[in-house]
Amino acid sequence: MADVRNVKKLTDNRFLNLYQLDAVHRDGTVSPYYVASRTKTTENLKALAHHNHPDGVILYGVWGAAKDHVVLIRQYRYPIGGYVYEFPAGLVEPGENLLEAGVREMFEETGLTFHPVEGGSYMRPFFTTVGMTDESCGTVYGYCEGTPTNANQESSEDIQVVLADRAECRRILREENVAIMCAYMLMHFIAGEGDPLAFLRA
């Protein structure tokens, strides 16, 4: 049976760290494996702790009286050296729950006021890219109001706020760089009619 042994922390950074572990394969052979993690301690690495608390929050925000736009951001991301479309998102700070983090991050990244709705099991944390990281994020759903602004963004962020209707979402999926979690949710938005968050009450 596959297993994890001998975990060693290789970096000591604020937001992301690299860990090396011995990956025990099902045939008993062992090889080094490298994992990026938001945790600052070896003990809290999910491979050892076996708990799944959310590192971050993703925000599915619906905007407009007709509930026919979603709130996206177009952000410069250094790993790809270019812009990518995403949902607003951020890290959950110590002492915050997902809803609190969602309201804060939406305001900081877009200037919009976010009114979360209960998402039940849809809000629980899911893993992002498990081949390279143990990061997990919960999704908070809700309605937004206000006028977009980048006045509250950090100086290190290069973010444009996009209020996209279904036609624009189709174009984005055809032509632009899109984060995969965002892409799947945009497909759901395009395929639906009426209130995009109605499925939460089904």
119 pLDDT above the threshold of 90: no
Q: Of 7, 107, 101, which is closest to residue 48 (Cα–Cα)?
A: 7
Q: Is the pLDDT of residue 171 over 90?
A: yes
Predicted confidence (pLDDT) at residue 201 exceeds the cutoff of 90: no
Q: What is the pLDDT of residues 176-192, one digit of tens each?
A: 999 999 999 999 999 99
Q: Using 50, 70 and 90 to split pLDDT, how confident is the model at 105?
A: very high
Q: Is a pLDDT exceeding 80 seen at residue 202?
A: no
Q: Residues 138-171, buried b or exposed e (16+ Cβ, 10 A)? A: bbbbbbbeeebeeeebeeeeebebbbbebeebee
CA distance 142 to 118: 8
H helices, E strands: number in the chain: 4, 11
Structure tokens at 127: 């893993």
> What average pLDDT does the segment 59-85 reach?
97
Q: Are 142 and 54 in contact (CB under 8 A)?
A: no
Average pLDDT of span 9-38:
97
pLDDT over 70 percentage in the chain: 100
Asked if 177 and 81 count as a contact pair (C-beta separation under 8 A), the reply is no
